[in-house]
């Protein structure tokens, strides 16, 4: 493959990344989409306008049979390719079909495990504030990283999430315990405090740092499950549902654009399902 073509691919994905950022896509989405489009162009070896639907279907088959991509990965690859051709104002990928993703039940912690995780971080003011906020707010990790000091109303116990997923603002109510944890942490800061959470190397904490923090304290708490910030989001939703919170309130709290997304939590709690059934329908 010539250097000229590689330069062409580099230029294409760079402009595509700029377009995605202009569309307010998350950095994680930008990274994933650019990866798939770069790989597709290099594998097919043609300029974008020369690529056919047959080329794309053969590439999809290659990912499935040679690289053994899962249905989830194939789904993401097709979404990325469709977005790229749409950006280029070409309909080549409009009929490229994505496999149906297997419906996976959200992973979540029990209430006892969540309590152990929070307690395990208590000795570190920043980490305790981060884990408490994730556990009690349902924030996405990117939303937490982007929080600024002014986004928190400490008196009203409200956090303003600016341009969350889908470029939608929302408010999140937190407990007084979380507010106290945030205040205790902020007292340890000696920087300009632009962002709510910082690290020693940056004024804004990164996604990867938050992931490492959660994993470290999950291990310290003796939790055998894989624990991520998103697991804490699922844990909050599941706990709220178990305690009788209306699903539409949970939808707004989590910032889901459709209640259909939130409804996956209705399939999680088997114990609650059995309890309701036994209470109302033992027999006719």
Catalytically active residues are 140, 165, 230, 233, 256, 265
Handedness of CA 73, 79, 82, 84 (dihedral sign): negative
How far apart are the two ends of the chain, measured CA to CA in Å? 72
Cβ contact 84:56 at 8 Å:
no
> Residue 148 carries which DSSP code?
B
Cβ contact 232:135 at 8 Å:
yes
User: If residue 147 lies in a helix (H) or strand (E), which one and from where to where?
Assistant: none
DSSP code per residue over 182-244: HHHHHTT--S---BSS--SS-SS--HHHHHHHHHHHHHHTT--S---HHHHHHHHHHHHHHTT
**Cα gap 90→85, rounded to integer Å:** 5
- Radius of gyration, alpha carbons of the chain: 22
Question: Closest Cα partner for 56 from 35, 77, 27, 87?
Answer: 77
Residues in the chain: 284
User: If residue 114 lies in a helix (H) or strand (E), which one and from where to where?
Assistant: helix 111-120
């Amino acid at each position: 493959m010539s250097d000229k073509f590689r330069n062409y691919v580099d230029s294409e994905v760079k402009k595509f990344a700029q377009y995605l950022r202009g569309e307010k896509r998350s950095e994680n989405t930008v990274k994933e989409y650019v990866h798939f489009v770069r790989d597709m162009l290099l594998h097919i070896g043609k300029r974008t306008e020369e690529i056919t639907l047959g080329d794309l279907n053969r590439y999809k088959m290659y990912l499935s049979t040679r690289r053994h991509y899962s249905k989830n990965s194939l789904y993401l690859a097709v979404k990325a390719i469709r977005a790229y051709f749409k950006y280029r104002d070409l309909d080549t990928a409009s009929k490229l079909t994505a496999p149906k993703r297997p419906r996976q039940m959200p992973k979540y912690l029990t209430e006892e495990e969540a309590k152990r995780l929070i307690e395990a971080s208590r000795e570190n003011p920043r980490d305790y504030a981060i884990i408490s906020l994730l556990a009690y707010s349902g924030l996405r990790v990117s939303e937490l990283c982007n929080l600024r000091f002014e986004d928190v109303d400490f008196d009203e116990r409200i956090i303003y999430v600016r341009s969350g997923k889908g470029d939608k603002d929302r408010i999140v109510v937190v407990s007084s315990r979380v507010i106290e944890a945030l205040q205790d942490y902020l007292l340890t800061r000696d920087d300009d405090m632009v962002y709510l959470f910082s690290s020693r190397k940056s004024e804004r904490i990164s996604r990867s740092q938050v992931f490492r923090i959660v994993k470290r304290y999950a291990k310290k708490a003796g939790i055998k499950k894989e624990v991520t910030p998103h697991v804490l989001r699922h844990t909050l939703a599941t706990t709220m549902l178990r305690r009788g919170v209306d699903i539409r309130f949970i939808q707004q709290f989590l910032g889901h654009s459709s209640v259909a997304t939130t409804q996956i939590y209705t399939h999680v709690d088997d114990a609650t399902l059995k309890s309701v059934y036994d209470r109302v329908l033992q027999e006719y």
